[in-house]
Copies of this chain bind each other. A is one copy, B any other.
């Protein structure tokens, strides 16, 4: 029996990822300190700005990372320039779901 394309659901495909732009850290499931260290190293390398991005349940972690970094490592010399939230549609049509997103733009002021 012939198979049409729409029934090839069992084929394992590599998950499509958007390229991560420079000066951006995407928060995942690692411990807060892993990301806080990455933020610190980013600014120590001379960069002046960084955007911390997260979606879904990791949004809370993103806020934790920014707050820990600002308070413990930079003591006021890291300013929050902008916070924006949004919704991203994941998956194909017919099997799509919405996930909330956050972007926190940081700027080193000291």
Q: Hey, what's the 0/1 contact readout for A79-90 against B, CB within 8 Å counting as 1?
A: 010011111000
Contact B100–A60 (Cβ < 8 Å): yes
Asked if A39 is at the interface of the complex by the 8 Å CB criterion, the answer is no
A77 proximal to B (CB < 8 A): no
B98 touches A67 (CB 8 A): yes
Question: 0/1 per residue, A85-110, Cβ < 8 Å to B?
Answer: 11100000000001011101000000
Asked if A104 and B87 make an inter-chain contact with CB atoms under 8 angstroms apart, the answer reads no
Let me know if A64 is at the binding interface, CB within 8 A. yes
Q: Which residues of A contact B (CB under 8 A)?
A: 56-60, 63-64, 66-68, 71, 80, 83-87, 98, 100-102, 104
